[in-house]
């Protein structure tokens, strides 16, 4: 079986967290799946690569100080002040790399839902069913309706997001980036949408479920030796207003 590297938890600012995720995609020394949960040094928001900065500025709180960073992945605006954040990276050689984005999104969120369900949480992967009018005036169900576009991540659940089956609230969402090196999957769980979670237990169950889907063997692995100049340079890039505001 392929090794699945479980990296140590690290706490950092928004630019550093985004830079490290990207370097785990670009510069990881081994061609194996890798996973990390990470935390935030202070209040932080991140937003999708293609989002317009004018929309982001208008959607942010005005009475708080926080880090802000554009992600290398897509998706909407994410408030990281009360979330549980993770990154999963698959090498290009992994079979899941060749799947369409909705399929990889669904599989990862099915693993997340399995872990939450084992802890008694009412969670399910959302399959979209939008009612549309027919010529007879009745309604029919259209599956797989695409989202209108990235907005504010936890305002609305889209196809294959994780939702609370009791309240309908969105529990988890994610964004992806594929390039010649592999697939980067950045995910967030809204803690207020679940109750009484032991997050260490959840992480163990989540990564165990991922090992089954990825056909891999989980191994706790030290943080890789990355080029410090490259790390510093990328953190500086992600901190630069030109990167944050270029759209």
Q: Is residue 91 part of a domain?
A: yes
Cα–Cα distances in angstroms (integers) from residue 212 to residues 97, 171, 190, 195, 206, in the given order: 16, 22, 25, 26, 10
Looking at residue 153, its pLDDT comes to 63
Q: Is residue 154 part of a domain?
A: no
Could you list the residue range(s) of the whole structural domain that residue 78 is in? 2-97+172-244
| Residue 31 and residue 216 in contact, taking contact as beta carbons nearer than 8 Å | no
Looking at residue 105, its pLDDT comes to 96
Looking at residue 1, its pLDDT comes to 83
- The structure tokens listed for 174 are 């994610």
Q: Is residue 239 part of a domain?
A: yes
Q: Is residue 162 part of a domain?
A: no
Maximum pairwise Cα distance, the chain? 65
Q: Is residue 157 part of a domain?
A: no
Q: Pseudo-torsion of CA 2, 37, 173, 106, nearest 10°?
A: 10
Q: Is residue 152 part of a domain?
A: no
Looking at residue 128, its pLDDT comes to 66
- Going by C-alpha positions, the residue among 36, 34, 176 that lies closest to residue 94 is 34
DSSP letter (8 states) at residue 182 = E
CATH of residue 79: 3.30.930.10
Looking at residue 48, its pLDDT comes to 95
Looking at residue 145, its pLDDT comes to 40
pLDDT (tens digit, 0 to 9) for every residue of the chain, 247 residues total?
A: 899 999 999 999 999 999 999 999 999 999 999 999 999 999 999 999 999 999 999 999 887 789 999 999 999 999 999 999 999 999 999 999 999 999 999 999 999 999 999 999 999 999 865 443 334 333 333 434 444 456 666 667 889 999 999 999 999 999 999 999 999 999 999 999 998 999 999 999 999 999 999 999 999 999 999 999 999 999 999 999 999 998 8
- The structure tokens listed for 39 are 């935390």
For residue 182, the tally of other CB atoms under 10 A from its CB is: 23
């Amino acid at each position: 079986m392929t090794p699945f590297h479980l990296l140590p938890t690290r706490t950092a600012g928004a630019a550093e967290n985004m830079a490290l995720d990207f370097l785990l995609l670009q510069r990881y020394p081994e061609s194996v799946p890798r996973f990390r949960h990470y935390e935030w040094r202070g209040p932080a928001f991140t937003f999708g690569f293609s989002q317009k900065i004018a929309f982001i500025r208008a959607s942010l709180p005005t009475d708080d100080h926080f880090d802000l960073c554009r992600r290398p992945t897509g998706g909407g605006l994410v408030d990281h002040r009360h979330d549980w954040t993770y990154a999963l990276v698959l090498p290009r050689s992994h079979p899941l790399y060749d799947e369409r984005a909705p399929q990889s999104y669904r599989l990862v969120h099915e693993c997340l839902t399995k872990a939450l369900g084992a802890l008694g949480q009412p969670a399910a992967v959302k399959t979209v069913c939008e009612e549309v009018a027919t010529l007879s005036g009745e309604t029919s169900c259209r599956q797989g309706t695409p989202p209108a576009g990235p907005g504010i991540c936890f305002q609305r659940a889209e196809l294959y997001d994780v939702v609370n089956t009791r309240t309908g609230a969105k529990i988890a969402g994610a964004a992806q980036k594929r390039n010649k090196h592999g697939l980067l999957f950045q995910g967030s769980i809204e803690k207020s949408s679940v109750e009484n979670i032991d997050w260490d237990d959840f992480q163990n169950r989540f990564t165990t479920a991922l090992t089954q889907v990825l056909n891999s063997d989980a191994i706790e692995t030290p943080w890789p030796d990355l080029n410090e100049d490259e790390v510093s340079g990328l953190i500086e890039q992600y901190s630069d207003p030109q990167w944050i505001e270029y759209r």
